[in-house]
Amino acid sequence: MNAAWVSLHSWAAQNGYRGLRVLPLSPSAAYALTTLNGVFTVRVGSQTAYWDQLDIRLGFPPQLIGDQIYLHPLDINKTLKPLARGLTVPTTAQRVVVIDPGHGGSNPGTRSIVDGRLEKEFTLDWARRLSPLLEQKGWQAFLTRTGDVDVSLPDRTAFAEAHHADLFLSLHFNASGGNGDPAGVETYCLTPTGMASSVTRGYSDDTDQVFPNNTFDAENLRYAVRLQRALLEINGATDRGVRRARYPAVLRGSSQPAVLIEGGYLSNPREARKIADPAYRQKLAEAVARALE
């Protein structure tokens, strides 16, 4: 990395923010920057940052240079700046949202450890509950599938393009690959060019790649933060973070802002029992709708 790292002190001063506080935590100090729209907390050596206590993954661990914390310029431009400018998103009338229930047909997705039911069934149910709620809030909502059918990933993004979507929202549930017994919600948007992804799932992650969806890096992050925040309010305490990834083809291939939600772990018995409850799935839908008000 040759790009010049940015002193958070200097950046804060240049942008008129006075509230950079040092929090003397072990094993390394954390720094909390108060902006008009929220508090950004970072720690030397850690890619986990917080926006108003919400877990946001940075592209690069901040460095201590002299006695100041420095951030990579991509984290300044692609993470801190869009958040500091506020989480407002466009609110023109009759915006179009394409809701994408993950999987379908011969592609079942993951399976509930509790009752064997399939991810494809739960994502479709979530999407069906969400659609009328968004319509009530002034969105025009379309689903990439309305039944248990195969839809290819390119067809899903092409569908959004054909409907002139303002937002593409892909709904999934998660399963652990065997490392522990995780639970909680993750929200993904496309990794900005130049950054390594927070999650690769074994796919190659070429940081030089520029995708059309990278045009929407700032809006992607704002939508992701709004959605993750709203989902945590109903999911409980397990914040698995706003993350960046390149492998989801529905994010890369989207020609409008796009976010993918992993709404909980079907491999975790406690969470799988919640997801099996229609009342909980209604809450998930209501949380998404609230985030898009």
Interface pick for Zn ion out of 38, 101, 102, 192 (rule CB under 5 A) = 102
Nearest distance from C-beta of residue 86 to Zn ion, angstroms: 31
Neighbours of 210 (CB within 10 A): 10
Interface pick for Zn ion out of 59, 101, 104, 109 (rule CB under 5 A) = 109
Nearest distance from C-beta of residue 102 to Zn ion, angstroms: 4
**Residue whose beta carbon is closest to Zn ion:** 172
217-235 vs 278-291: helix axis angle to the nearest 10?
140
- Write down the residue that tokens 């509790």 correspond to: 114
Nearest distance from C-beta of residue 175 to Zn ion, angstroms: 8
Question: Interface with Zn ion includes 120 (CB under 5 A)?
Answer: no
Question: Interface with Zn ion includes 253 (CB under 5 A)?
Answer: no
Q: Could you give the C-alpha distances from 240 to 1, 166, 264, in angstroms and in order?
A: 28, 26, 10
Nearest distance from C-beta of residue 97 to Zn ion, angstroms: 19
Residue 181 is which amino acid? D
Question: Interface with Zn ion includes 104 (CB under 5 A)?
Answer: no
Question: Interface with Zn ion includes 264 (CB under 5 A)?
Answer: no
Cα 50 to chain center, whole Å? Answer: 14
Q: Which residues pair with 169 in a beta bridge?
A: 99, 259
Kindly indicate which of the ranges 54-62, 102-110, 141-149, 224-232 contains the residues binding Zn ion, using the contact rule CB under 5 A. 102-110
Question: Interface with Zn ion includes 95 (CB under 5 A)?
Answer: no
What is the widest separation between alpha-carbon atoms in the chain? 59
Question: Interface with Zn ion includes 101 (CB under 5 A)?
Answer: no
Question: Interface with Zn ion includes 257 (CB under 5 A)?
Answer: no
With a CB cutoff of 8 Å and minimum separation 6, the contacts of 7 are: 65, 68, 69, 70
With a CB cutoff of 8 Å and minimum separation 6, the contacts of 123 are: 101, 102, 103, 109, 171, 172, 173
Tell which positions 146-205 bind Zn ion, by CB under 5 A. 172
Nearest distance from C-beta of residue 222 to Zn ion, angstroms: 23
Binding site for Zn ion (CB under 5 A): 102, 109, 172
